């Protein structure tokens, strides 16, 4: 009995030690930063904020205070998604890559153990004191079009106006970040102690994802290539895969492909194509020699403008689609 007690006590202490080490390692790997003073809302973000406020007013919901911390997190994530989007079917767009100063994580609504990946990210990065919830649009549309799509989805409209499954929430802070074709909005449960968020006057600062700082840029971000991933060498974007036209399988140089998603196996990709074939008869699997991912192209286009227009015409079911250019 004494021997069993000794083993039980030893196992208990060892378990606590492992928990402590795991917790310490996780927190130590992330670098909480101060929100840069020059974080500001660009014109796109201002318009979207006004539309969200108007929609809430129509539904008798109060105005949400702008949050500098949540805006900073939104801007970081928009850039992380654009440059470093995790190309895995198990990780949703609420996931964060390993290319920044934050803790990388894979978010999945189907896995309750991964929920904190979204909820706690503002706290991890800025020290924001409460849970926060994120909505994302990937498509490059104007604010009005994005709002129309969100309002047409019962899930997202519930978030916007605190109804349905979010009726027990009372948003006290909101942050918006837009970069290229990616738009991110964070809703927080408590007020932000940093409310001095100003509108951008002139060029928006550049954001360094490695250390969470900003620097002044002489040029305003060029949005003419919104939503287009180019298959060329030297890109950090995982969708580029460091491939060139000669390494592409099933891709034609100079063409633009509207990508539905990517899968880890040919079997999963083929099954998805069969499901899509009714609405998209030209859907097919494409690959690159430098990647083990199986992507589904809904259509191919001769110009970027055609592909972008087609992307913007997709309904909300395909909000995660993106444009891939083969060069």
User: For the structural domain made of 33-215, what CATH number should be given?
Assistant: 3.40.33.10
- Res. 278: pLDDT tops 80: yes
Domains of the chain by residue range: 33-215, 228-326
> What residues does 66 pair with on adjacent strands?
174
Give pLDDT, residue 191.
Answer: 96
Alpha-carbon distance of 64 to 62, in angstroms, equals 6
Higher per-residue confidence, 161 vs 215:
161
The mean-pLDDT minimum among 14-23, 282-291, 302-311 falls in: 14-23
Q: What's the predicted TM-score (pTM) here? A: 0.68
Domain 228-326 has CATH 3.30.70: yes
Higher per-residue confidence, 135 vs 290:
135
Q: Could you tell me the pLDDT band of residue 312, with boundaries at 50, 70 and 90?
A: confident
Alpha-carbon distance of 140 to 165, in angstroms, equals 28
Q: Which residues of 284-319 are buried (b: 16+ CB within 10 A; e: fewer)?
A: bbbbbeebebbbbbbbbbeebeebbebbbebebebb
Q: Could you tell me the pLDDT band of residue 271, with boundaries at 50, 70 and 90?
A: confident
Q: Which residues of 29-57 are buried (b: 16+ CB within 10 A; e: fewer)?
A: eeeebebbeebbbbebbbbbbebbbebbe
Alpha-carbon distance of 77 to 100, in angstroms, equals 10
What is the rounded radius of gyration, in angstroms, for the C-alpha atoms of the chain?
22
| Residue 229: partners with Cβ closer than 8 Å, 6 or more residues away | 237, 239, 240, 322, 323, 324, 325
Q: Could you tell me the pLDDT band of residue 319, with boundaries at 50, 70 and 90?
A: low
């Amino acid at each position: 009995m004494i021997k069993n007690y000794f083993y039980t006590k030893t196992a208990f202490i060892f378990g606590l030690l492992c928990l402590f080490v795991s917790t310490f390692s996780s927190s130590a790997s992330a670098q909480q930063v101060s929100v840069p003073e020059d974080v500001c809302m660009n014109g796109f973000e201002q318009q979207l904020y006004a539309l969200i406020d108007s929609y809430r007013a129509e539904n008798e919901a109060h105005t949400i205070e702008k949050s500098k911390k949540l805006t900073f997190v939104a801007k970081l994530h928009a850039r992380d998604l654009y440059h470093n989007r995790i190309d895995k079917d198990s990780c949703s767009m609420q996931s964060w890559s390993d290319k920044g100063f934050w803790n990388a994580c894979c978010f999945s609504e189907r896995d309750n153990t991964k929920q904190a990946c979204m909820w706690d990210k503002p706290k991890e990065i800025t020290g924001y004191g409460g849970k926060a919830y994120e909505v994302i649009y990937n498509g490059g549309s104007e604010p009005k079009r994005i709002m129309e799509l969100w309002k047409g989805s019962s899930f997202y409209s519930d978030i916007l106006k605190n109804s349905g499954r979010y009726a027990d929430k009372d948003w006290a802070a909101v942050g918006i970040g837009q970069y290229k074709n990616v738009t991110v909005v964070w809703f927080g449960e408590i007020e932000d102690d940093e409310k001095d968020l100003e509108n951008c006057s002139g060029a928006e600062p550049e954001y360094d994802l490695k250390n969470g700082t900003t620097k002044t840029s002489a040029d305003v971000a060029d949005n003419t290539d919104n939503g287009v991933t180019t298959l060329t060498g030297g890109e950090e974007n995982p969708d580029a895969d460091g491939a060139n036209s000669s390494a592409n399988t099933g891709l034609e140089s100079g063409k633009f492909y509207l990508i539905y998603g990517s899968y880890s196996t040919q079997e999963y990709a083929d099954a998805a194509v069969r499901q899509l074939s009714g609405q998209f008869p030209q859907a097919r699997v494409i690959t690159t020699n430098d990647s083990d991912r199986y992507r589904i192209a809904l259509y191919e286009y001769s110009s970027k403008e055609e592909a972008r227009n087609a992307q913007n015409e997709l309904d909300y079911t395909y909000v995660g689609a993106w444009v891939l250019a083969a060069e």
